[in-house]
């Protein structure tokens, strides 16, 4: 009697393992870091952690809504009760908005518990909007037309 190799088992293994593995490899090659290329680990100073303290917080800050579809500075540190003023420095309409219900990406809007959101159009160059933030915590806001292009900002308020 001859022993036959388990052909059926092998082809089942091939179908089950090899193909998904190949697909995984292709996916990994497509999206993973390129070997040999240095992956820079950017240490972002999260303003909710280090960086923003009562000592470094400002009582008034100005944030530009720019032509390059950014808030500048993108992160700010404000003393509780301080005033933030947005200025449209571009010829495009922008908004400054912190209303979770208006965010395409929920992570782009955040308010400390008990704080009130806002939504203000800055229609043209020179448009300004000022707001006093009394409640300490992290405020994440965005520009409605440019949120998905990365026009988001964060203000940390400390007491
Ligand atoms: Cu905008």
Task: Give the CATH number, domain containing residue 145.
Answer: 2.60.40.420
Q: How far is the CA of 38 from the centre of ligand 1 (A)?
A: 33
Q: Is 100 a member of any domain? A: yes
| Neighbouring C-alpha atoms within 13 Å toward the C-beta of 62 | 8
Q: How far apart are CA 110 and CA 137, in angstroms?
A: 9
Q: How far is the CA of 97 from the centre of ligand 1 (A)?
A: 10
In a domain, 33, yes or no: no
Quick check: is 25 in a domain? Answer: no
What contacts 50, CB < 8 A, 6 or more positions away?
A: none
Domains identified in the chain, total number: 1
Strand 128-133 and strand 75-88: the pairing is antiparallel
- Domain extent, residue 116, equals 58-158
- Determine if residue 81 is left, alpha or beta; phi over 0 gives left, psi from -120 to 50 gives alpha, anything else beta: left
Q: Is residue 4 part of a domain?
A: no
The whole-model pTM stands at: 0.69
Residue 7 domain-assigned (yes or no) = no
Report CA(122)–ligand 1 centroid distance (Å). 9
150 occurs within a structural domain: yes
Q: What is the pLDDT of residues 102-152, one digit of tens each?
A: 999 999 999 999 999 999 999 999 999 999 999 999 999 999 999 999 999
Q: Each residue of 33-81: pLDDT tens digit?
A: 445 445 444 444 444 445 899 999 999 999 999 999 999 999 999 999 9
Q: Among 156, 157, 154, 158, which residue's Cα sits nearest to residue 72?
A: 154
Calculate how far, in angstroms, residue 139's C-alpha sits from the geometric centre of ligand 1.
17
Distance 113 CA to ligand 1 centre (A): 26
**Listed residues: CB within 5 A of ion ligand 1:** 94, 143, 146, 151
């Amino acid at each position: 009697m001859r022993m036959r190799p388990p052909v059926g088992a092998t082809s089942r293994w091939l179908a089950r393992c090899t193909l998904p593995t190949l697909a995984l490899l292709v996916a990994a090659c497509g999206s993973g870091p390129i070997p040999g290329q240095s992956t820079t680990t950017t240490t972002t100073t999260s303003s909710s952690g280090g960086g923003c303290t009562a000592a470094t917080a400002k009582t008034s800050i100005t944030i530009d809504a720019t032509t390059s579809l950014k808030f500048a500075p993108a992160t700010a540190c404000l003393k509780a009760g301080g005033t933030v003023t947005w200025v449209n420095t571009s010829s495009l309409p922008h908004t400054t908005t912190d209303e979770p219900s208006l965010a395409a990406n929920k992570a782009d809007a955040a308010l400390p518990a008990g704080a009130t959101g806002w939504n203000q159009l800055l229609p043209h160059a020179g448009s300004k909007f000022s707001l006093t933030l009394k409640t300490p915590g992290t405020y994440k806001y965005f520009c409605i037309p440019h949120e998905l292009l990365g026009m988001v900002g964060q203000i940390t308020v400390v007491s």
